[in-house]
Amino acid sequence: MPDTRVAIVTGGSGGIGRAVAERLAADGMSVTVHYAGNAARADEVVKAITDQGGSAFAAQADVADAQQVETLFTETERQFGGVDVVVNTAGIMILKPLAEFDVDDFDRMHRTNVRGTFLVSQQAVRRLRPGGALVNFSTSVVRLAPPTYAAYAATKGAVEAMTLILAKELRGRDVTVNAVAPGPTATPLYLQGKDEETVAQAAKAPPLERLGQPADVAETVAFLAGPARWINGQVIYSNGGVA
């Protein structure tokens, strides 16, 4: 393995993505902080990392655009010399009963969550160095199946299928492929549009009786990205025991 490992974190400018980027940097990795549109937030993450003595830079790309994703990886290799870890946190969530769901919203969510994961994973497996790790993001609602989550869970079910098959396709490469499936986590993406009662009920659902924090999920990612070389082709439920 190289002396300094290099990570790309898609959606690294906020929520879970930011926590992941900062955690991997704290573990000694150089980090590309990907963002879709908010350069200021990405720059904040880079500053937070460099202020702690880490190495990072921000890079914009539409994860559903093949050329832009390829450029994201090329720029990372130019900046840091290679790619060892790719974490796909970029995603969008729209909630509504299936019968009322707007097909354009479904297509938009599919474009980012499924096509985006596909394109980033494709570049990852072409470029990851031996000892590397690809970590995709699913969600615990694939298993929990709550109302209004059908369209969102469908996109993440596709991510799980890609992840499990891709792990087998990389036989002999010394690259692990796993997915993390968070439960209710206190991020803007999760909290948006939810009233206090709904949030309180979600916090009581795990036996630990609290919402997850981005740092909780980042710890799981750091494990898969670093020491967990014998965990491969798995979906890890990082949700405090929600069932």
Neighbours of 40 (CB within 10 A): 9
Look at residue 223 and tell me if it is in a domain.
Answer: yes
Q: What is the pLDDT of residues 149-168, one digit of tens each?
A: 999 999 999 999 999 999 99
The CA distances from residue 213 to 16, 34, 119, 185, 190, in Å, are 8, 21, 28, 5, 11
Q: How confident is the model at residue 192 (pLDDT cuts 50, 70, 90)?
A: confident
Distance CA 37, CA 73 (A): 18
Burial (0-12, 13-18, 19+ Cβ within 10 Å), 147: exposed
Q: Is residue 215 part of a domain?
A: yes
For position 185, what pLDDT does the model report? 87
Q: How many domains are there within the chain?
A: 1
Known catalytic residue at 237: no
- Residue-number span of the structural domain to which 97 is assigned: 6-238
CATH number, domain with residue 220: 3.40.50.720
Q: Does 26 map to a domain? A: yes
CB-based contact 84:5 (threshold 8 Å): yes
Q: Tell me, yes or no, whether 167 lies in a domain.
A: yes
Q: What is the pTM of this model?
A: 0.94
Task: Report residue 209's pLDDT band, with 50, 70 and 90 as the boundaries.
Answer: confident
Query: Which residues 6+ apart lie within 8 Å of 216 measured at CB?
Result: 185, 238, 240
- Active-site residue, from 149, 152, 190, 237: 152
The answer to whether position 1 is within a domain reads no
